[in-house]
Amino acid sequence: MRGLRLKFMLWLYDHSSRIYAKIFKAGKTPWGIAKEEFLQYPKNSLGYKLGEFYRDKGFDVMPTLENHDVFHILTETDTQIKDEIAMQYLLFGNSKLSLYLIGMLLVGTFIFPEHFRYYRSSYRKGQAMKKFHHLEFKEYLHMNVQVLRQSFYTKHIYAYIKN
């Protein structure tokens, strides 16, 4: 039964993310950076870590959804389906609100209720962080990824990131 739930959720996530990108991100400009180009950024930069993420996961860049991949890196959230649902909880805790997010929370929690503790802790993690879900991270690709991570928890460093 778990295998069937997983297959359904993977199918739903794959198709819904494409539709989300076409409909809700239609006016957004893609970054226009190939996944290999990210590896040309300095070693500890966000850009380089994004290149490693794409390479190691075997993912391609989904135009207009690049920020979502950055969220994985900065929050250190994996990409298994339970983690994708947890990411939506984290973003909800960080005050992001969208139809897609609400749908993922409802469907994901219903299909995988056994991970609810993880989802709740992800929500709380998002609440504890400075608001970041609205930032466009393309302009931060050159920055050290550890400094960026810390900036979500430290007011002093956060001053370097525009609201």
pLDDT tens for 111-154 read 999 999 999 999 999 999 999 999 999 999 999 999 999 998 86
What is the reported pTM? 0.84
Q: What is the distance of C-alpha 106 from the center of its chain? A: 18
Residue 147: HSE in the Cβ half-sphere, 13 Å Cα cutoff: 13
Domain assignment of residue 89, yes or no = yes
Domain assignment of residue 70, yes or no = yes
Per-residue pLDDT, 55: 97
Q: Is 93 in a helix, a strand, or coil?
A: helix
Domain assignment of residue 1, yes or no = no
Domain assignment of residue 60, yes or no = yes
pLDDT tens for 2-42 read 678 767 766 766 766 666 656 655 667 899 999 999 999 99
Residue 122 structural domain: 41-158
Domain assignment of residue 109, yes or no = yes
The token pair that represents 20 in the structure block: 């989300």
pLDDT tens for 65-87 read 899 999 999 999 999 999 999 99
Q: Can you tell me the distance from the alpha carbon of 53 to that of 70, in angstroms, rounded to the nearest whole number?
A: 9
Number of domains present in the structure of the chain: 1
Buried b vs exposed e over 2-18: b needs ≥16 C-beta within 10 Å? eeeeeeebeebbeeebe
Q: Is the dihedral of CA 136, 36, 72, 14 positive or negative?
A: positive
Q: Can you tell me the distance from the alpha carbon of 38 to that of 14, in angstroms, rounded to the nearest whole number?
A: 23
* Beta carbons of 70 and 38 less than 8 angstroms apart: no
Per-residue pLDDT, 157: 44
Which is higher by pLDDT, 56 or 18? 56
